[in-house]
Chains A and B, each alone.
Chain A
Amino acid sequence: MMQFSMLYSIIPLLLFMVIVGAMKKTNRHIRHVALIGSVLPALFIPYLAMNIGASESYGWIGLAALSLPITASNTIVNFVMFSLVSIVAPFVFLYSTGYMDNQIDDKRYYLELLAFQAAMTALSLSGNFILLFIAWEFLSVTSYLLIGFYNTGSAKRAARKAITTIIIGDIAMLAAMALLWNSYSTLEFSQLAGVTSFSAESLAAVALLIIAVFTKSAQFPFTSWLVDAMEGPTPVSAFLHSSTMVKAGVFLVLLLFPMFKASGMLNIILAISLITAIIAVANGIGETHIKKVLAFSTIEELSIMLVAASLLNVYAALYIFIVQTFYKALLFFYSGILYRANGTEDITKMRNAANMKPLMLSGVIGVFALTGLIPFSTFFADSMLDAAAFSSGIGMLAIIIIIDLLLSVMMFRWLLLPYTKEVKKASAAELDLQYKLVGKPMLYSLYAFAFLSIASPAILFSKEIFGGAGIFQFISLQEFVLADAIVIIGALIGYTLMKRKRTPYLNVNGYIDAAYSDVAYFFSGASIALERFEYLINRAFGLSLPVVYGTSMLLKNVQDGRINTYAFVFVAGLILLFAFFALKM
């Protein structure tokens, strides 16, 4: 009897991949079958909840000193990640059944999505670098496929950009694994977390890990792939941004937090995350693409998670990690519906539904949750974060307040713009009809997440995760005033900005892209210079080839097919062996 294993949670997904793979392309039930498959891992949540702290190892390569097992573990961070993925995934699939209109592509889409979920589930359970790296690589590949799903020129470019950026992180992580193995002879998170002494080698490993984290979680200077990744289908964006891939980097930091802390590199993370957050909000204010604004806000949130972790407030980081999932998925679901009804992704050209109060309300809830109005999710995060920032200096607090302010400007402008578009009466009626035609499954997912966004702060009551002091330890009177003031001022600025035709903003992202092409240009120049050198190497290889090949032809003659020769060589070899032994004895 084999032991029940938590890694079995991937098996339903793989099984349903096979089933979907076996179905005909034209079968209209592919989406329903895939939906069933995506629900199944959620059934493991109770099992995992009962076994927090468990870990299991499978020998992968194990020989003497070299033992590389695959370890699955179930720490709090693993459990949180697993639950978030398993809860969000079915709703993304449900939303997709309404959103994806071209049924011919169903098979490819759902196969890729199931593969993505499987990779993410494996990642969420990883207890050492072997499993993490395998899942990490699969994430890279499947996200590449999903971002480039629509096969248009820009989608292909975006996918290529994503994979080239992420591969930098993959290689960095591989190198980090090699260095860590050299230093500590282990790749287990449980052991690496306890590391206290660092050599130059292991510090380099931590630095490489930070690069890997920054590529996956889109921190400076690897931000721009995430914005371009909006070329993918909206449900994919919702999945990618809320619970899955971009959080993999933060997830790694949380898993190995003691090691990052002991290495003293948290300050680097802090500095770069703050820079990234400022870049993100500065860019987002002027953006008019409905999803790209959300992408910038995601980058800002990831930065804030890393900032919170770097300020040693892991609770805050973990809390944002959890609640961000729900309101971010909600906002993406909302923007997808707006896009479907209006047929454009430009927020200056779209108009909100006049006849669907719940839809509008959902958007408002999402923005409130994101910006942190009093009882909503981010409020508690802000209050934790501001306290941590204040303790490390008033300057830090000021920076974070500015970021918060800019964020609420950006989000309220984003929310309010679709209300201002003046349309003729006839086309308004038509638009209302379009809103009526929006698929029911999309609305169900939206409402479910609106509810979850409101309810998610209740997670603070969890004793296992937050120590059980309850929600009130995170509230203070100053914060009451401060957070709400920020949101309200932000909303007012956003409202004024919305009325202006063009919003002045800082296109830092554009500058980063330009810098990248400069770097690429430099390398192509260097490559031309190195071509001479390469030519020499080629010559050397070219000269060695005839030598090797000539030897081959020469030896070919020895092998003349005559058995006498073979017998002679056999005996000659025997005699040589005797001679050698005689010499050695």
Chain B
Amino acid sequence: MVFGFNPSYAAVFPSYYADAFIAILGIIVFANLALFLAKKPKVQLAANSFMFLVLAAACFALSKYGSAIGLIMPSGGTLISFSSFSLFFGMLFGIGMFLINVLAFSKTEAYQRFSLFSSLVFTGLYLVSFAGSFISIIIGMEIITLPTVLILLSGGYKTIEAAVKLFIMSAIAASSLAFGIVFYYGAANTVLFTQASEGVFLAGAAILAIAALGFESSIFPFNLWVPDVYEGARADATALLGSINKKAGFVALILVLFAAFGAQEAQMTPILYIISILTMFYGNILALSQKNVKRMLAYSSISQAGYILIGIVTATGYGIAASIFQIAAHMFMFMGAMAIVYFMEKNNNEEVDNYVGLYHSNKFAAIVLTIMMLGFIGTPLTAGFIGKFLIFSSAVYNNMVLLAVIAIINTIISVYYYLKIMLAMFASKETKRKYKMDLNITAVAAACLIIVVILGVYPGPVISMASAAAASLHI
């Protein structure tokens, strides 16, 4: 039960690998820019999908399916490192960004902007996943957040408030992280990930990093912006925020905790323990009284962040693997739910009351949303069940029974508000307009549905990949 990665995994590779990696990311952005200027949304979607999926496939191929690759640094040290962990998230983010692009697609300039900015976000995601130093973490987080602000801004008058809130809070978080890096340099004499020795500087760096990355991964008390921004943004942007940006925060958090702050474990474990309890309660209790579906899902995603933290708190290979699995599961569940919310939003239905009788106006939407909700609750045969099962059992295995009990109490509370939406959807209402779902939304919803069910029925391969990823970070 220790933070910190095993140095015996460490290996070196020529530094031009890192250069090539950066170049690939650059190509993605410039290709998008060219297509943006050429005003070809369809080609932009095709190009983005191709590049994201190819990179995801490359990561999958490199991860060698199941064997752990430790943190590999280039000779001389640059921003980039490779490990099973990075490759797993490279794959996951590739698939996730592809789905987001499909979800947001329309033949308008708005999508063109979205696509351009999302390619920047993608670059940031890869910088964070493959981070070898704090510099790539901070640059990555900024490249993720600022284009997201621009995406929110381009959503029109209604979403400006959300954009400004996100911008201000991200500025605070970024400054906090920058300050943390200064502390880290004081402790370790480098900004590369290394096992620095315990001390005041390292502790300060750890606190500031937890706060800054807690902002993005929406853990209490750095998450007050989340509901406002999730609610204010258009649903496709909310999907981006909840299933991509938030997960990037977790990736960065796990990386720095294990690769840089291992020495401060004695202080960090109780803090994360308390934070995870507070985050769960905060998300679930506040979700109870919400009337707006997007806001409710924002709180639900906060509570899910609390569950994910449990696995990190246990600081074992098992717990981290459970958290990684839950990150993947929640990414698709949230995206699937948001696809339906996006569909409803397009028809001006945002409140829970508007969802009454959805089953009778669009069966597919109701079924998808129901299964996603069941996934959030953790019903068997969905990915959510496997994730929660692994997380709770990891807590029990590590003698944190109290944490598991609290998590279960939270799950019980959460059933109330998920059930509220589910019951509303299946309530009978005779005359209801039939809405037709756009093809791209249908595709994303169906893809998420299939992924969530497959991960729930046959999670074996993904679990073994997740545990390889965890093993690459950990002892």
What is the distance, in angstroms, from A583's C-beta to the closest C-beta of chain B? Answer: 9
Cross-chain contact B463 with A556 (CB below 8 angstroms): no
Cross-chain contact A573 with B270 (CB below 8 angstroms): no
What is the distance, in angstroms, from A340's C-beta to the closest C-beta of chain B? Answer: 41
Which residues in A have their C-beta under 8 angstroms from that of B285?
548, 551-552, 555
Cross-chain contact A566 with B208 (CB below 8 angstroms): no
Cross-chain contact B286 with A552 (CB below 8 angstroms): yes
Interfacial residues of chain A within 551-578, with CB under 8 A of chain B in the complex = 551-553, 555-556, 558-559, 561, 563, 565-567, 569-574, 576-578
Cross-chain contact A559 with B289 (CB below 8 angstroms): no
> Which of A548, A559, A581, A584 meets B224, CB within 8 Å?
A559
Cross-chain contact B461 with A567 (CB below 8 angstroms): no
A511 within 8 A of B: no
Cross-chain contact B224 with A59 (CB below 8 angstroms): no
Which residues in A have their C-beta under 8 angstroms from that of B132?
none
> Which of B211, B225, B463 meets A59, CB within 8 Å?
B463
**Residue of B with least CB distance to A583:** B267
Flag B116-131 by CB within 8 Å of A: 1 or 0 each. Answer: 0000000000000000
**Residue of B with least CB distance to A550:** B289
Cross-chain contact B172 with A585 (CB below 8 angstroms): no
A65 within 8 A of B: yes
Which residues in A have their C-beta under 8 angstroms from that of B413?
548
Cross-chain contact A567 with B286 (CB below 8 angstroms): no
Expressed in whole angstroms, the Cα–Cα distance for A94 and B461 within the complex equals: 40
**Residue of A with least CB distance to B321:** A63
What is the distance, in angstroms, from A552's C-beta to the closest C-beta of chain B? Answer: 4
> Which of B169, B208, B318 meets A563, CB within 8 Å?
B169
Cross-chain contact A64 with B318 (CB below 8 angstroms): yes
**Residue of A with least CB distance to B389:** A61
> Which of B203, B208, B224, B267 meets A565, CB within 8 Å?
B224
- Most chain B beta carbons < 10 A, residue from A58, A555, A558, A581: A581
Say which size band chain A's interface belongs to.
Answer: 35 or more
Expressed in whole angstroms, the Cα–Cα distance for A565 and B222 within the complex equals: 11
Expressed in whole angstroms, the Cα–Cα distance for A33 and B225 within the complex equals: 59
B260 within 8 A of A: no
Expressed in whole angstroms, the Cα–Cα distance for A565 and B286 within the complex equals: 17
Given known contacts A565-B224, A567-B168, A570-B211, A577 and B288 CB-to-CB distance under 8 angstroms:
no
Which residues in A have their C-beta under 8 angstroms from that of B316?
64
Flag B446-475 by CB within 8 Å of A: 1 or 0 each. Answer: 000000000000111101100100000000
Cross-chain contact B203 with A581 (CB below 8 angstroms): yes
Which residues in B have their C-beta under 8 angstroms from that of A569?
221-222, 224
Expressed in whole angstroms, the Cα–Cα distance for A570 and B227 within the complex equals: 15
Given known contacts A59-B463, A561-B228, A563-B165, A553 and B271 CB-to-CB distance under 8 angstroms:
no
B393 within 8 A of A: yes
Cross-chain contact A552 with B165 (CB below 8 angstroms): no
What is the distance, in angstroms, from B300's C-beta to the closest C-beta of chain A? Answer: 13
> Which of A566, A576, A584 meets B266, CB within 8 Å?
A584
Which residues in B have their C-beta under 8 angstroms from that of A472?
none
> Which of A61, A559, A576, A580 meets B386, CB within 8 Å?
A61
Cross-chain contact B207 with A552 (CB below 8 angstroms): no
**New A-B pairs, 9, CB < 8 Å, besides A63-B321, A556-B289, A578-B204:** A61-B389, A64-B397, A65-B318, A548-B413, A569-B221, A573-B222, A574-B208, A584-B266, A585-B267
Residues in B lying within 8 Å of A, measured CB to CB: 164-165, 168-169, 172-173, 176, 200, 203-204, 206-208, 210-211, 215, 220-222, 224-225, 227-228, 266-267, 270-271, 282, 285-289, 316-318, 321-322, 386, 389-390, 393, 397, 413, 458-461, 463-464, 467
